Chain A
C-alpha cells in the first residue's frame, strides 16, 4: 500500500439532498448545486459558452437557458396542493426561461431542457451569436473544437437571415507575445477577461466600445504577457484567442492526444501532448484538481520544440583520438562496460538527474549497487517559484531521486569534483545532465577523466568531452513515472517515437547493467516498475495501471499549491463551482 494515508479530520457533515425534476424524472442532488452542474450529473447536456466551473458566472451568453418551474403553493383557502403521481407538489412552470449556470436548485423545482420553449431560446441565441460571426472556419485554428461549430449544428439554422453587412473588427492582432486575437470571432463570453482578473491577477483584458461594435482588447499600455496567458486560448470557446505558436500548424482533428505530465518543474502539471506523425504540435493542460486545476504555465506548454530539433543526439558515438565517430549501440555499450569493469568501484562516480523517471533512477541505483559505486548524486536545479503553479525546484522528479537513490541532492557533488581533481575518480557516468552547466564541473576536471560516459537527449558541450555518448529519449518519447513536489506519483506516456537510434533511459541503463554484470530479465517498462515496487517499500502493491491518468498520492508533504488554495477558497464562498 502507499505510505500516504487518508486525511483524518472530522467526518464531512451529511449533505442535504433536494428533489429536482429533470425532464420529467425526479432525482436527488446536494442542496445549493448550480442547475447546470445538476444537469451535468444527470448526464443532460446544456449548451453553454460563458460558464466555466473554475470561473465566476456572469451569465452573459444566454445559451444555457432552460425552462424551470417552482412547486405549487396552496391558494388562499386551500389546505392541500395538487400532487403528481410521485407525491411531489405539482410544478408551476415559468413562462420565461432561466439560465442554468447562475441559478441553484431548490426542493421540488422542475427543469426541462428539451421543451419547445428551450429549443426556441437556443435557436434564437444561436442566431444572434452567428449574425456577425465570420465564416472563416477554413482558416480558423479553433475549427474542430469550436463551441460555436458544435452547437450551430444542433441548434442553428442552415442559412443566415442577416442581409446587412457584418460588423468589421480588428483581425489577426497580436495582443501579447504568445496570443493572437481575432475580434470578429469573439462572442463576448468574457471567459478570458475573468481568467486574467480572477486567476492570473493580471487584469489587462476588457470590452470597449460596448454595443454593436463591442471589442475585446487589452489595456492601451499593456499586453497579455503573463506566464499563464495561453490558458485564455484553451478556455476561449471560439477562435478569437489563438496561440501564436500553434497558429496554422495543424488542424486539431489530426492531432493524437497523449495524456502525460509536464517535466518543466516539480509541480508536474497534467497535460496532453497533441502530435501527428511523430511531430509534437502543441501541449495543453489536462484537468487534475489535485495538481494544476485546469491550468498550466506558458513556459511549460511551449517547451517542446527541442524534441524535434536538430540539436538531438540520434546515435551513439565513440571518441577516438579526439574525434567522435558514430557507433552501434552494441559497440558503445561494450566500450562503456569495459571501461567500468577496468575501474575500481571507488574510482567511479555516477551523476544522475532529477529529470529521470523513477524507473530510470531505480536502474541507476541497481547499476551503482552492482558496481559497488558510492559516489552517486543528482544535480539540484532551483529557480524562481511564482504564486500560482511554477515550483522553485526545476527538477521534475527530485522526490523520486530522494526516495529511490536515498540521497540528498547535491550533497556529494563537491566531493566528486575534488576527487576528480586529485585523480581519485577516473570514470564518470553522466545521465541526462550537462556536467559543464548546472552541475558546475570545469573542462579541466572533465579533461582529467579517463572515461566519461555521457547519456543525454541533446548534443552539448559535455557530450563533446565524453568518451562514449548515448542518445536518450525525451519526456515525450518514453514511458515511466515521476513523483511531484506534493508527493504525487504520476505517469509519463510516449506521444512520439524516439528520434534516430535514441532509446529510453531505462532501456539504456538495463543494457548497460547487462553489459557490465550480465544480469537481466527486464523486457518492458512494466517489468521495471514491478521490480521497483518490490524493492522500494513506498511503491509496494502498485503497478503502472493502478496509477491511473490522474496519479496517486504516494508521499506525504506539507506543501500546498497556491492556485488550488485560492480555488478552494472561492469554491467555499460559492463564487465558483470548481
Chain B
C-alpha cells in the first residue's frame, strides 16, 4: 500500500533558502578561520603517513594462516571456512600428510589453500568458525595487485602473512 510521507510546511523565509545558505557559509567560514590559524588539519597524507600504530586490537584485516611453535600447519583442511565464507572467497584442496612427514600423525592438511582477496569482505567468519585456530585476520589492509591472479593469496603467501602463533588452541583448552 502506498504510504504518503508528510512533507514539512515551510515558511516564506525558509522557502527562499537564504537562512540555510547562510548557515552553510558560516561553517565554511569557521573551517577557513581554523585553517588560517593552522589548527584545521584533519586528514593524513596516505600512504606516506599511516595510522597502523593506532589500529584497534579488534581490527579485521586480511585473513592469514598460522603455524604453531613447532612450525606445524595448524590448518587441517576441515573446509569449514570455505563453507561459512559468505562471498565464497576461500578454496581448499585437502590432502593426506605423507607417512614420512614429521607430522604424519595429524593425518590431514591443505594441499592448496587460496583466498581470493577481491572477493574477501573481511567479515572474520573464517576466524570464528575455525576449530583449530589456524586462520586469523591480521592488520594488513593494503592488499593490492595489478592482476586478478595476484590478488589470490595462495598457501605460501597466507603463511608468510600469518607467521607463527604460539600457545594452546583455546577452543580445546579447559583452562582458557
Partner-B contacts on A (CB < 8 A): 135, 137-139, 143, 171-172, 247-251, 253-254
Contacts and interface: CB of A to CB of B under 8 A. Distances in A.
Contact of B94 (A135, A137, A249): A249
Nearest to B107: A139
- Most chain B CB within 10 A, of A138, A171, A247, A249, is at A138
A137 B83 contact: no
Nearest to B106: A139
Interface size range of chain B in the complex: 10 to 19
A251 B83 contact: yes
Contact of B78 (A135, A172, A251): A251
B96 interface: yes
A143 B76 CA distance: 14
A139 B78 contact: yes
B108 A139 contact: yes
Given A248-B95, A248-B96, 9 more contacts: A137-B78, A138-B76, A139-B108, A248-B77, A249-B94, A251-B78, A251-B79, A254-B79, A254-B82
Interface of B: 76-80, 82-83, 94-96, 106-108, 131-132, 172
Contacts of A247: 96
A248 B131 contact: no
Nearest to A141: B108
A171 B96 CA distance: 14
Contacts of A248: 77, 94-96, 107-108
A247 B96 CA distance: 8
Given A248-B95, A248-B108, A251-B78, A135 B83 contact: no
A138 B83 contact: no
A139 B134 CA distance: 14
Contacts of B83: 251, 253-254
- Most chain A CB within 10 A, of B76, B79, B83, B106, is at B79
Given A172-B107, A248-B108, A138 B80 contact: yes
Contacts of B95: 248
Given A248-B96, A249-B94, A139 B79 contact: no
30 contacts: A135-B172, A137-B78, A137-B131, A138-B76, A138-B78, A138-B80, A138-B131, A138-B132, A139-B76, A139-B77, A139-B78, A139-B106, A139-B107, A139-B108, A171-B107, A247-B96, A248-B94, A248-B95, A248-B96, A248-B108, A249-B94, A250-B79, A250-B94, A251-B78, A251-B79, A251-B83, A253-B83, A254-B79, A254-B82, A254-B83
